[in-house]
Amino acid sequence: MAAMNAAALAEENRTLKATLAQREARIERLEFDLAQLKKLLFGARSERLATLPDIDQLPLWDEVPEDAPVASPVAFKTVVVQSPAKNQPKRTALPAHLPREIVVLPLSAQDRQCPACGEERPVIGYESSERLDYVPAQLKVVETRREKCACAKCQGQLTTVPAPPQIIEQGIPLPGLLAHLLMAKYGYHLPLYRIEQIFARQGVPIARTTLCDWVIQSGWQLQPLVERMLALLKQQPVIFSDDTTVAVQDRGKTRETRFWVYAGHSPPIVVYDHTETRAGKHPKAKLEGYSGYLQADAYAGYDQIFAAGKVLEVACWAHARRKFFEIARQTENGKRISAHEALEYIGRLYAIEREAKEQQLDAEGTRKLRQEQARPILAEFKAWLEDRLRQLAPKTPTAQAIGYALKNWPALERYTEDGRLEIDNNRSERAIRPLTIGRKNWLFLGSPKGGQVAATVFSLIQTCKELDLNPEAYLKDVLTRLPTTKQREIDSLLPHNWKPANV
């Protein structure tokens, strides 16, 4: 009887311990989620820790069961990065291409008289200084007069110079105004109602609906350029992709849709797409026929692209790092030290990338450096992750971060196979950032049609920025030449081939 009671008590003790462990793991997850929400509302977005704790000094027991085996400590070299001393501000020379207005300040007759002999002194030079002024942009009217002639003897024999083709036939805007409008809306993220107010203050009231029509018509005319850019992008060996949400107004309400970005770097091409949903069929259709590497986050919708085997997945170490960073930044009293150790490993991988950039290695040199230095670190890191995962409660934040890394491990280490690949997907994330900035200003798109026009114009503007071109100058020139450009000559108007007409 006593033996049965002892066995029952032991079983009850095990059950209570298991329940307690589950509740502690749940409390840890909830505390982590609460900290994430507080950070989202009030915290900074920078992925930088002020200091990393000494790994050998902090206890590991806050996130592992009491009976878990003790892992051998991993020695890490602490790297202290000091900010360079701030340079003293220096005034740079003003650009030579700017128009210059010379203002001469003459000496008075009294100042020109020599105080010693009384003779008038000649001017021998000037003390010059340059300052920058601003001439506000202004609208102007261009009146086009087309000559016409008629025969005095033959009634009705009238000849007129044909009207030059325009982007908007029988409309009043010229390419310069359209380019300025597109740049203001999609480059500087001004809502149309603000642009309407700016024009009105210059004494030219233009209805917002009219501005919207001009934007839509210009976008449709520019669409063939972006379609050609996408075709050239799919010939590149590496494509970077990401997506973000955008609200669209529909029947008085707003609903969530998606902007996708597809970017390449040889030459720099950035193409956006707007879709009604986040379904995987959209990127699959956009990249139909592509064969090469696709670097993206671990969104399951891309799996349809990778299924055929023609496109190889390259994962993003920035995404994997971010999961450990969110845990590490909320460390209190040494908790969740595993996240700091993981960040140390990832930091060593990024140090190799910095070395490749500092040495200005080509693709083959970068590949060799990664094979020699990054591959051993990756093997050591994977073994460490697997060992640490066995010691953690299943659903703790650190266990989930480790699980994410191990689940995507083949794609995470694929960047070492080819020097043209990058360690993370920051290239496409940088391309997404202008959309998120604009979204804070114009809040939502007016219609799905407006979403596709926005994707078209964003593609051209962002590609110009990648090429260090002036987007407004490019758009003005292209909108001028596009009506008379034949389809077989359209490549000459693409940003990476573009040369101004007056060059």
Q: Is residue 11 part of a domain?
A: no
pLDDT of 35: 63
Largest CA distance in the chain: 134
Report the sign of the C-alpha dihedral through residues 494, 497, 501, 502, in that order.
positive
Query: Locate tokens 């009506």: which residue?
Result: 483
Q: Which residues contact 266 (CB under 8 A, 6 or more apart)?
A: 236, 237, 420
Q: Cis link prior to 224 (omega < 30° from 0)?
A: no
| Pairing status of strand 268-275 against strand 292-295 | unpaired
| pLDDT of 191 over the 60 cut | yes
Specify the amino acid at residue 246: V
Q: Which residues contact 52 (CB under 8 A, 6 or more apart)?
A: 78, 328, 340, 343, 344
CA-based R_g, the chain, Å: 32
Q: Is residue 395 part of a domain?
A: yes
Q: Is residue 388 part of a domain?
A: yes
Weakest mean pLDDT among 11-15, 187-191, 435-439, 443-447: 11-15
CA 255 – CA 303 distance, rounded (Å)? 26
Q: Is residue 27 part of a domain?
A: no
How many Å from the N-terminal Cα to the C-terminal Cα in the chain?
102
Q: Is residue 292 part of a domain?
A: no
Residue 93 has φ and ψ, to the nearest 5°, of: -65, 140
pLDDT of 84: 52
Please give the helix or strand (H or E) that residue 356 lies within, else none: helix 337-358
Give the pLDDT band of residue 179 (cuts 50, 70, 90): very high
pLDDT, tens only, 142-167:
998 999 898 877 776 788 998 888 89
CA 430 – CA 261 distance, rounded (Å)? 10
pLDDT, tens only, 4-63:
677 777 777 777 777 776 676 666 666 666 665 665 666 555 565 554 444 343 333 344
CA distances 98 to 367, 445, 503, Å, are 45, 37, 18
DSSP class of residue 120 equals B
- Work out the angle between the directed axes of helices 375-391 and 337-358 (0-180°, nearest 10): 170
pLDDT, tens only, 192-245:
999 999 999 999 999 999 999 999 999 999 999 999 999 999 999 999 999 999
Q: Is residue 201 part of a domain?
A: no
**Proportion of the chain above pLDDT 90, given as a percent:** 55
| pLDDT of 427 over the 70 cut | yes
pLDDT, tens only, 340-353:
899 999 999 999 99
pLDDT, tens only, 374-384:
999 999 999 99
| pLDDT of 72 over the 50 cut | no
The dihedral over CA atoms of 454, 457, 458, 459, expressed in degrees to the nearest 10, equals 120
CA distances 26 to 19, 105, 335, Å, are 11, 78, 16
**Proportion of the chain above pLDDT 70, given as a percent:** 83
Domain tally, the chain: 1
pLDDT of 59: 36
CB 189 within 8 A of CB 438: yes
Q: Is residue 374 part of a domain?
A: yes
Q: Is residue 224 part of a domain?
A: no
Give the pLDDT band of residue 339 (cuts 50, 70, 90): confident
The dihedral over CA atoms of 190, 196, 201, 203, expressed in degrees to the nearest 10, equals 140
Task: Identify the domain containing residue 331 by its residue range.
Answer: 317-424
> How many residues can be counted in the chain?
503
- Tell me which residue of 430, 420, 460, 476 sits closest to 229, measured CA to CA: 460
CB 163 within 8 A of CB 483: no
